[in-house]
Amino acid sequence: MNKLGRGHRDKVQQFMTITGASEKVALQSLKASEWHLDGAFDVFYSQPHTKSFTDTRHLEELYNRYKGTFTNSLRQLDPYADMIMADGISTLCNDVQVDPQDIVMLVVSWHMKAATMCEFSKQEFVGGLQSLGIDSLEKFRERIPFMRSELKDDRLYHYHSIFFYLVASEKFKEIYNFAFGWAKEKGQKSLALDTAIGMWQLLFEEKQWPLVDHWCQFLQARHNKAISRDTWSQLLEFARSVDPTLSNYDAEGAWPYLIDEFVEYLTENNIIQKGGHHVKDWGQKF
C-alpha cells in the first residue's frame, strides 16, 4: 500500500474500517470500482465472503484465559463454571483496551449471539470470534473500529451507494433489537426502566436522535415502569420516521400508547410547539 497515493491510501483505510475487510480485499474492491467508494461497497457486499481462518488452539487459549477457575468438584456443582462471567469480560476489555461500559461491547455480544449481558458461554465466545476472524488479542483490537462502525446511523452513509445505505440501516436495527433481550433480566418479558434508559442513551448517542433525553425524562416522570418489547422496537421506527419537530407525526398512526403520550408531553411542556416548530435549535445532528 506504500506505493499508493495519499488519496487512494485513505480510501483503503476507510473501506477496511467500515467493512472489516483485509487490505487485499479492500484493494480488489476499490480497483474493481475504479476507486469509487460507493462502487467498492457494492462489489464487496454483493460477493460471498469466506470467514477468515482462525486457529482453534488459539481460540481455546483465549477462552481459558477468561472463563472462571474452579476445581473439578465445584465445576460439577456450578452451572456457570464454564461460562465467561463479569470478571472475565472485564479482563477481556482491559486486554483489548476498551471500557467495559463502551457500547461496542454490545456489538461484540451481538456477534457472539450472547443470550445475557455479562455472560458468554464457550459456544457463544468461540463461535463469535470465529465469525469475526479473531484468534488473538491483536486481531481483536484491530476489529474494534469495524464493530464500532456497525453502530453508525444509516443516515451517516447517505453519500455512499443505496446498497450500503440499506446494509448499514438493517445492521443497526438488528443490533438495536438484539439489545432488548440481551439486557433484560433472565425470565423477564420486559426490560427494567433504568436499564432501558441507559441502553437508549448509549444507542442514540451513536444515532443522534435529538429527543432521546426528553424521552428518558418523560419515562421517569410519567411511566416509571418496565419497557415492553413492542415499545422498544417501535421507538426506533418512531425516531427514524418522525421528524424531531413532529411535523410529520400522524396522531392516527399505530404507535404504542406510550409514544402517543410522549408526543402529548412534548407539546404540553412547550418542548415542541403545536404545528411542528421546535423551541430549541437542534443544529444538524439528525
What is the rounded average pLDDT for all residues in the chain?
Answer: 83
Question: What's the first-to-final CA gap in the chain, in angstroms?
Answer: 36
Nearest to 215 by CA among 251, 176, 262: 262
Quickly state the pLDDT bin for 116 (edges 50, 70, 90): very high
Q: How confident is the model at residue 68 (pLDDT cuts 50, 70, 90)?
A: confident
Q: Return the percentage of the chain with pLDDT > 70, whole number.
A: 81
Alpha-carbon distance 146 to 171, whole Å? 12
Cβ atoms of residues 104 and 147 within 8 Å? yes
**Residue 252's pLDDT band (boundaries 50, 70, 90)?**
confident
Tell me the C-alpha distance between 259 and 231, whole Å: 8
CA distances from 269 to 218, 244, 255 (A): 11, 15, 21
CA-to-CA distance for 51 and 105, rounded, in angstroms?
Answer: 21
In this predicted structure, the answer to whether residue 199 has a pLDDT above a threshold of 80 is: yes
pLDDT band at 25 (very low <50, low <70, confident <90, very high): confident
Rounded to the nearest angstrom, the gap between the alpha carbon of residue 244 and the centroid of all alpha carbons in its chain is: 22
Backbone angles phi, psi at 280, to 5 degrees: -110, 160
pLDDT at residue 155, rounded to an integer: 44
Residue 248's SS3 state is coil
pLDDT score of 158: 38
Q: Is the model's pLDDT at 55 over the cut of 70? A: yes
HEC readout, 149-206: HCCCCHHHHCCCCHHHHHHHHHHHHHHHHHHHHHHCCCCCCCECHHHHHHHHHHHHHH
**pLDDT of res. 272:** 83
Output the pLDDT for position 207. 66
Measured N-to-C along each axis, helices 193-207 and 229-241 cross at an angle, to the nearest 10 degrees, of 20
Structure confidence at residue 278 as a pLDDT band (50, 70, 90) = low
Query: What pLDDT score does 48 carry?
Result: 56
* pLDDT confidence bin for 284, thresholds 50/70/90: very low
Rounded Cα distance between 76 and 89, Å, is: 22
Instruction: Give the residues across from 84 on adjacent strands.
Output: 120
Question: Which pairs with CB-CB distance under 8 Å and at least 24 residues apart come from 166-170?
Answer: 167/41, 167/45
Top pLDDT among 74 and 114 is at 114
Q: For residues 201 and 184, what is the distance between their CA atoms, to the nearest angstrom?
A: 16
Confidence check: pLDDT of 121 > 80: yes
217/236 Cα distance (integer angstroms): 17
Is residue 143 predicted with pLDDT exceeding 90? no
What global pTM score does this model have? 0.76
C-alpha grid cell for residue 76? 460439577
Q: Name the range with the highest mean pLDDT among 49-63, 139-153, 220-234.
A: 220-234
The answer, yes or no, to whether residue 286 has pLDDT greater than 50, is: no
Q: What is the pLDDT of residue 96?
A: 97
State the average pLDDT over residues 141-164.
Answer: 63
